Chains A and B, each alone.
Chain A
Amino acid sequence: MIILMILFTLLGGITLSAQSSINGAFGRNAGTLETTLLTFITGTMFLAVFILFFGQGNLSALFEAPKWQLSAAFLGTMYLLLTVIAVPRIGVIATSIAGIIGQLVIGMFIDNFGWFNSLVLPLDWKRMTAILFMFIALYFVYKGNKRSSHETEMKTT
């Protein structure tokens, strides 16, 4: 069961990278804002159908929720917009890894200060080392990307 769940979650990650590349390709033809808009609209439609069948929560409680919680929608929008901008310029892998690093580093800060009612997990030496390794990874992605785009250019010219 546990293994099945981990596989299912791996699939979640796979769909995220597939989304980045599909949107990147679409964005080259239709434009950044247009691609992001389409992604949100189709996502909304699918979720609407989902909620009608499986929704157990209380959508109307949305109006009573604190406004700072609702403002997260701007962040969700920012994420998608920035991804659609970055993918055609630096590629899927660099966008994914840079995105993951931003996510993990900020995640650790949130944990460290216990913002948004999160569990307080201090930024210890293990987590500091982890951040160091992430930036090493970013460096290698940059290097690797540069080399493979150089090689492709050599072939085409």
Chain B
Amino acid sequence: MIRYLSYVLALLAGAALSFEGAIYGELGKHIGELETSFYNFFMGSIIVGLLWIFFGKGNISYVVKAPKWTMLGGVLGVVYLTSIVVSVPFVGIGMTMAAIIIGQMIMSMVIEHFGWLGSMKSKINKEKIFALIAMVISLILIN
């Protein structure tokens, strides 16, 4: 049950990202792209900070003990946003999204296949390759 729910949550996460992208596109015209990213992270810190104060049950002091590379999550998010901002004017939004999605899918499989970056090891198999092919077909259809 929790499994199915997690798939639904991941779908919702993507849906949120789409709305966010469309709205930030408008905001970016007024205040600039980097500034929009900054606003996103800054407000995000405040929102989650508040949530954490009220509902945080985890162990924030783990931050000091954790290996330093696990702190890179936020930086990587910045690389992602910047790569979009830089390449859209050159290759267009369609090509940009397709390249990002393909990079993300292939890398996810490789990461899990080897169990890198603390992920649970999960071998690449026939079904996953089929899934990748189906996604490439739908990207071609959209563009």
List residues of chain A with CB under 8 Å of any chain B CB. Answer: 1-2, 5-6, 8-26, 28-48, 50-51, 54-59, 61-62, 64-65, 68-83, 85-108, 110, 115-118, 126-127, 129-134, 136-145, 147-149, 151-152
Contacts and interface: CB of A to CB of B under 8 A. Distances in A.
Given A43-B41, A117-B26, A134-B138, 11 more contacts: A13-B102, A37-B49, A47-B37, A79-B13, A79-B16, A93-B108, A100-B105, A101-B14, A104-B14, A108-B142, A147-B125
A142 to B, nearest CB: 7
B87 A9 contact: yes
Taking chain A's interface residues, is the majority helix, strand, or loop, or is none over half, making it mixed? helix
Interface in B76-135: 76-80, 82-84, 86-87, 90-91, 95-96, 99-105, 107-109, 111-112, 116-123, 125-128, 130-132, 134-135
Contacts of A19: 72-73, 76-77, 80
B59 A69 contact: no
Nearest to B132: A137
A61 B135 CA distance: 39
Interface string B65-79: 010011111111111
Contacts of B128: 93, 140-141, 144-145, 148
A76 B7 CA distance: 18
Taking chain B's interface residues, is the majority helix, strand, or loop, or is none over half, making it mixed? helix
B84 to A, nearest CB: 6
A5 B39 CA distance: 26
B131 A144 contact: yes
Contacts of B116: 21
Contacts of A30: 58-60, 62-63, 66
A106 B21 CA distance: 11
Contacts of B30: 58, 61, 64-65, 69
Interface in B38-56: 38-45, 47-49, 51-52, 55-56
